[in-house]
Structure 1
Amino acid sequence: MPHDTPGSLRIGLLGAGRVASHLGPALVAAGHSVAFVWSRTAQSAAALAAQLPGAVALSSLAPPLPTADVYLLAVPDAAVAPLLAGPTWPAGALVAHLAGALPLSVFDSQPNLRGGVFYPLQTFSPGRAIDWPTVPLCIEANDLSAEATLLDLARSLSQHVRRLDSAQRLKLHVAAVFANNFTNHLLGIADALLAEADLPPALLAPLVRETVDKALANPPFAVQTGPAVRRDAPTVAAHQAALAAHPAWQALYAQLTASIQAQL
């Protein structure tokens, strides 16, 4: 779809990591154009730009920056503030970060910018396809015009677009860490324990699927099962003994057991 198609936007993409590598092609598929890709690693910027028709790879952010309707900062949270203060942005530029835990107030020191947040609630990994219409996109901005543009951009990608303020988004991000990152870590521990017993990871697959399906269909605390809920002290003790070679996991088991029992 050409850039002059109604509703299409010209995007400046700063970052070429996991999020940017998924988002860039999705933006093009939705009818937008990516004007340029910049990354601290020139090779990464060039590789991503090569996948996006018409995009150029910037080796630096020296002025003038190429013109864009929206500049998206797909960089680590700690890099956002320095990046905002670094380049000479066009006056009135709409710049949005993609971070879950970073407040909108990060733009307060840059009053010449229209600041916003374009937060995709998803985990991004190389080689994993993203079903963008199902991805919640959370929008916040410091003026109505910027908000309207970001909402339009989000709705071109997803069927699940929400306005969230910074406090709501932070709580959402914490919840996402529990649901995704911590859950994945626990699955990693389970995988390692199975490997120690010379057992295949596939043994847990039906249990994991049923656990997730049940938790999505019901309040998770209400459908909790296991020895902690039953206050089955002998089984808990046996599990603790089985974890003797892994004191960190043993402590985590005890903490999670206590947390489950505190909800009863």
Structure 2
Amino acid sequence: MSNSLIEPPEVGKLRIVLLGAGRVAQHLATALHQAGHTVLQVWSRTLSSAEAVARQLPETAAITDSTALAAADLYIVAVPDAAVPAVVGAAHFPAGALVVHTAGALPLSVFEQWPSVRGGVLYPVQTFSPGRTIEWQTVPLCVEAADIAGEATLLGLANTLSADVRLVTTPQRLRLHIAAVFACNFTNHLLGISHALLTHDALPVDLLAPLVRETIDKALVEPPFQVQTGPAARHDQTTLARHEAALAAYPEWQILYKMLSDSIQRQASNEAQNNEGAF
């Protein structure tokens, strides 16, 4: 991944066909329109899904037949990773069309089995949920393309959506996606456990709000391993034992608690050994 932001070339307003009608597609469709691009069509296997996205935009057609795609400057495939090969394989793209996916873990090489199209990636590092407003100017957009012209088009497009645009290779993007799962999906799951524990004892969930905000704010400005706190970090075995006993009614969470506590202690031990070796 580049250590600095990319200054993409200027790009004209593009004509775009969007294949997909899920959460990413819904948010992306609106962002593309607001940036001045034209979304000609929204494709989905179900007409109601395509119409739900298309009606957000003026003069955008909802279609279910991917063999009847309009001529466009760019085709964006915003579907689950596992569905990308099937969707691309069934669609009829003009020869030489620039076709991109939006996945974090899917390699650029997925397009190699269709030599008549030019492959690319436009991966937004963000979580998307219905009803949430996304500040696209702050969303990192990771770009990769099979050819220089495609790269220039994607960099130009990304620049109209975000102030944070980077060239990222397939291996880098995979590691980035794993890091994003830890930072977002796993963190959200742990917050869900916290929510459930508080709710069980009729405690307000906003009790944790200042703690969560400070934890995230601190982790964004300091190396997180170096500012780890809590009973595991201070090797408070008495408190750890009490916590594990109190989680007996939730055996899966009890196991997870112990695994994470052990991981914190091993990481702290590794950090200590590394620091000793530096002298």
Shorter chain as denominator, the TM-score bin is: over 0.9
Matched residue, 2:99 = 95
Question: What letter corresponds to residue 104 of structure 1 in structure 2?
Answer: L
Report the alpha carbon displacement of residue 54 of structure 1 after superposing the two structures with TM. 1.7
Distance in 2, matches of 1:241 and 1:35, equals 59
Question: What letter corresponds to residue 151 of structure 1 in structure 2?
Answer: L
Question: What letter corresponds to residue 22 of structure 2 in structure 1?
Answer: G
Contact 2:73 2:97 in 1 (8 A): yes
Query: Unaligned 5+ residue runs, structure 1?
Result: 1-5
Contact 2:50 2:63 in 1 (8 A): yes
Give CA deviations for 1:125-175 in whole Å, capped at 9, x if unaligned: 011000000000000000000010011000000000000000000000000
Matched residue, 1:216 = 220
Distance in 1, matches of 2:78 and 2:57, equals 16
Distance in 2, matches of 1:122 and 1:262, equals 30
Q: What SS does the aligned partner of 1:75 have?
A: coil
Structure 1 ranges of 4+ moved more than 3 A: none
TM normalised by structure 2 equals 0.91
Q: How does 1:108-257 map to 2 (within 5 A)?
A: 108-257=112-261
Question: What letter corresponds to residue 135 of structure 2 in structure 1?
Answer: D
Question: What letter corresponds to residue 106 of structure 1 in structure 2?
Answer: V
Distance in 2, matches of 1:7 and 1:176, equals 32
TM normalised by structure 1 equals 0.96
Matched residue, 1:3 = none
Higher RCO by CA contacts (8 Å cutoff, separation 6 or greater)? 2
Query: Unaligned 5+ residue runs, structure 2?
Result: 1-10, 269-279
Q: What SS does the aligned partner of 1:95 have?
A: strand
Q: What SS does the aligned partner of 2:42 have?
A: strand
Matched residue, 1:44 = 49
Q: How does 1:59-74 map to 2 (within 5 A)?
A: 59-63=64-68, 65-74=69-78
Question: What letter corresponds to residue 35 of structure 2 in structure 1?
Answer: A
Matched residue, 2:265 = 261
Report the alpha carbon displacement of residue 193 of structure 1 after superposing the two structures with TM. 0.5
How many aligned positions are there?
A: 258
Report the alpha carbon displacement of residue 89 of structure 1 after superposing the two structures with TM. 1.3
Report the alpha carbon displacement of residue 107 of structure 1 after superposing the two structures with TM. 0.6
Distance in 1, matches of 2:202 and 2:56, equals 43
Report the alpha carbon displacement of residue 19 of structure 1 after superposing the two structures with TM. 0.7
Question: What letter corresponds to residue 169 of structure 1 in structure 2?
Answer: R
Report the alpha carbon displacement of residue 209 of structure 1 after superposing the two structures with TM. 0.5
Q: What SS does the aligned partner of 1:96 have?
A: strand
Distance in 2, matches of 1:66 and 1:147, equals 22
Report the alpha carbon displacement of residue 208 of structure 1 after superposing the two structures with TM. 0.4
Question: What letter corresponds to residue 128 of structure 1 in structure 2?
Answer: R
Q: Find out whether 1:35 has 2:56 as its counterpart.
A: no
Q: What SS does the aligned partner of 1:7 have?
A: coil
Question: What letter corresponds to residue 88 of structure 1 in structure 2?
Answer: H
Q: What SS does the aligned partner of 2:113 have?
A: coil
Question: What letter corresponds to residue 261 of structure 2 in structure 1?
Answer: T
Give CA deviations for 1:6-26 in whole Å, capped at 9, x if unaligned: 710001000111111111011
Q: What SS does the aligned partner of 2:220 have?
A: helix
Question: What letter corresponds to residue 83 of structure 2 in structure 1?
Answer: A
Contact 2:67 2:90 in 1 (8 A): no
Distance in 1, matches of 2:75 and 2:165, equals 19
Q: What SS does the aligned partner of 1:227 have?
A: coil
Question: What letter corresponds to residue 166 of structure 1 in structure 2?
Answer: T
Matched residue, 1:8 = 13
Report the alpha carbon displacement of residue 44 of structure 1 after superposing the two structures with TM. 1.0
